[in-house]
Chain A
C-alpha cells in the first residue's frame, strides 16, 4: 500500500441548485493528523460523508487506503473508523452491548472481540461506565464511546466530525490528548471550528470555505503566511513621556512601525513594534530600553494567530489559494 491513505479528486456535491462542495482535491498521508477547518456549512461534513461512502459525490472521486469509494465502498468502510457529528449512538443500549455490536459489525468474533473491547475501553477510559446505558452518559463519555467504536477494529484511517464540540474544557482536553495518542500510528482527519484545537492537535490544516478548499498547510506556516510577528513590550515610564519612549524604539533599524498605549498601571506603557521584515527584534528592543533608561517589565512576541488567518480566508469571498 502506498503512503497516501486518503486521496480526494475534484470532489463536488450539489444538492439541487446548491453547491455544497466544489472540486475539493487533497491527499492525506499515513500517520498524518489533519484538521479540517471551516465555518458551519462550508462542506466539512459533506466531505467526510463522501469519504465514508454515506453519500456519493456528484462529481469527482476519492480513494481511501487504496480502495475507490465507488468501486469498493465496503473496503473503504472497513479501513475507516468514523465518528459522525453529534455522536449518534443507540441510547437504549448499554455501553458494553454497543461495543459488542460495533465489534461484530466490524467482523470481530471469538476471543478477538472481548480482547479488542478491553483494549478500547482502556484507551478511552470507559471502564467505569461500561454497564451503563448510553442514554445516561454525559456528553464527554458519549464522545468516548463514539471514539471507542471507531477504534474497535484498529482502522488505519479515522474520520472524526467535530469530536470536541459541546465538551467542557476538561473533557475537551482529555479527548484531545486521546486523539493525539491515537494519531501516533494512524491517519486522522478531524473537523472542528475550534482553532486552538487544530493548533495543538493537527500537523496540517485544510481550510474550506463555501465548498472550496482555500488553504492546505501546517498551522505554523499558515499563521506565518498571514502576517508578520509583532513585539509587545511593557515598560515603566520613569517620568518619560509617551512620545519620548516611542522615539526611543523608532530608532531601531528594522522597526517598521511603533505604536503605544497605556498599560495596566499609571506608570506603565505598552509599546507595539512591528518589524519591517520578519526579523526578531527582541534583543534590539531590550537594548533600546536600556539605553533610554527605561525599565522593561515584559516582552512578548506575537505571531498572527490561526484565528486571523481563518477569518481572512473564510470571509474574503475568495481565498488565498495555496
Chain B
C-alpha cells in the first residue's frame, strides 16, 4: 500500500510540474461555464442537472488527455525501467498510477463545487441528485481514467494512447444514443453497456447498485488489462 501511495503521490505532483493538468482543468472549466450559463437563466430552475449532463460529456473528452502519458511516456523515456526494478509489483505500479491521476480528477471535481453551491443560493436546490451526480461522475470518470491507463499501457506514443482512449470512451458514452435504429433486444443490451445510461440514472439521485457494479466492473477489467500489458514486457 505504501508503494501505491508513493507512486500515486509522485504522479499527482508531477502533473503540476507540467502544463497538461493546467490546460485540462482550464478547458473543462471554460467549456462547462460556457454551456451551463448559456441556458441556465433560460430555464429559470435551481437545478444542477444541466451541469452534470455537460460535465459527464466534457470529461469523456478531457480525461484521456490526463492518462495518455501515464505509462506511454515512462516507456518512451525509459523511466519505466527504473520504476519497475524497484521492489514493487506490476499491480502496485498500475494502482499507483491510477491513484495519481484519480487524485487530479478529484481536484477537478472539487473545482466544480461552486456550481451547486451558487445555484443553492439562487433557489431551493435538491441536494440528492447533486450527490448522486457526483458519485456518478466519480465512477464514470474513473472508468474513463482506467480505460486511458489501459490505452497508455499498450504503446509508448502518447498520441496513440490518447486516440485509443478517446475512441473507446466516446464509444461507450454514445452507445445508448442510437438505440432507436436497433431491434429491442440488442438495444437493451447496448443500453446496458452505455456509460451515459448508468450515469443519468445516478444523476437522478437514485443510487442503483447495478450502476455502481457496472462502472466498477469496467474499472477492474481495464486495470487488469493494463496490468497484463505491463507484465507481458517480461516475457516478450
Q: A56 contacts which of B2, B14, B86, B234 (Cβ < 8 Å)?
A: B234
* Interface-located stretch among B77-85, B160-168, B209-217: B77-85
Instruction: List which B1-54 residues lie within 8 A (CB) of chain A.
Output: 2-3, 6-7, 10, 13-14, 17-18
Report the bound CA distance from A53 to B85 in whole Å: 7
Report the bound CA distance from A104 to B2 in whole Å: 8
Asked if A303 is at the interface (CB within 8 A of a chain B CB), the reply is no
**Complex contact B81–A88 (CB within 8 A):** yes
With A74-B89, A93-B14, A105-B87 known as contacts, the answer to whether A88 contacts B82 (CB < 8 A) is yes
**Complex contact B14–A74 (CB within 8 A):** no
With A82-B82, A88-B81, A92-B18 known as contacts, the answer to whether A77 contacts B235 (CB < 8 A) is no
Give the residue name and chain of the A residue nearest to B15 (CB): A92
By a CB distance below 8 angstroms, the chain B residues around A101 are: 6, 10
Give the residue name and chain of the B residue nearest to A91 (CB): B77
With A54-B234, A92-B17, A105-B6 known as contacts, the answer to whether A77 contacts B78 (CB < 8 A) is no
Give the residue name and chain of the A residue nearest to B7 (CB): A105
**Complex contact B14–A105 (CB within 8 A):** no
Report the bound CA distance from A322 to B120 in whole Å: 83
Among B80, B87, B236, max chain A CB count under 10 A is at B87
Instruction: List which B80-107 residues lie within 8 A (CB) of chain A.
Output: 80-82, 84-89
With A88-B77, A92-B18 known as contacts, the answer to whether A15 contacts B86 (CB < 8 A) is no
With A90-B79, A93-B14 known as contacts, the answer to whether A52 contacts B85 (CB < 8 A) is yes
Give the residue name and chain of the A residue nearest to B235 (CB): A56
**Complex contact B14–A84 (CB within 8 A):** no
Among A49, A54, A78, A91, max chain B CB count under 10 A is at A54
By a CB distance below 8 angstroms, the chain A residues around B185 are: none
**A78-105, CB under 8 A of B: which get 1 and which 0?**
1010101110111111000100011011
**Complex contact A105–B3 (CB within 8 A):** yes
By a CB distance below 8 angstroms, the chain B residues around A74 are: 87-89
Question: Shortest CB–CB separation between residue B16 and chain A, in angstroms?
Answer: 10
Question: Shortest CB–CB separation between residue A275 and chain B, in angstroms?
Answer: 50
How many chain B residues sit at the interface, stated as a range, is 20 to 34
Q: A54 contacts which of B6, B79, B81 (Cβ < 8 Å)?
A: B81
**Complex contact A54–B87 (CB within 8 A):** no
By a CB distance below 8 angstroms, the chain A residues around B79 are: 88-90
Asked if A196 is at the interface (CB within 8 A of a chain B CB), the reply is no
Asked if A107 is at the interface (CB within 8 A of a chain B CB), the reply is yes
How many chain A residues sit at the interface, stated as a range, is 20 to 34
**B173-189, CB under 8 A of A: which get 1 and which 0?**
00000000000000000
With A54-B81, A149-B82 known as contacts, the answer to whether A107 contacts B17 (CB < 8 A) is no
Report the bound CA distance from A86 to B10 in whole Å: 22
Report the bound CA distance from A171 to B86 in whole Å: 27
Q: A55 contacts which of B3, B14, B17, B233 (Cβ < 8 Å)?
A: B233
Question: Shortest CB–CB separation between residue A297 and chain B, in angstroms?
Answer: 53
Report the bound CA distance from A166 to B77 in whole Å: 17
**Complex contact A55–B234 (CB within 8 A):** yes
Question: Shortest CB–CB separation between residue B168 and chain A, in angstroms?
Answer: 28
**Complex contact A77–B85 (CB within 8 A):** yes
Report the bound CA distance from A52 to B234 in whole Å: 11
Q: B236 contacts which of A15, A53, A105 (Cβ < 8 Å)?
A: A15
Question: Shortest CB–CB separation between residue A320 and chain B, in angstroms?
Answer: 33
Question: Shortest CB–CB separation between residue A60 and chain B, in angstroms?
Answer: 14
By a CB distance below 8 angstroms, the chain B residues around A80 are: 85
By a CB distance below 8 angstroms, the chain B residues around A105 are: 3, 6-7, 86-88
Can you list 10 pairs linking A and B with CB atoms under 8 Å apart? A53-B234, A54-B85, A55-B233, A56-B235, A84-B85, A88-B78, A93-B10, A101-B6, A105-B87, A105-B88
9 further contact pairs, Cβ within 8 A, besides A93-B14, A106-B86: A15-B236, A52-B85, A54-B233, A84-B85, A92-B18, A101-B10, A105-B3, A105-B6, A107-B87
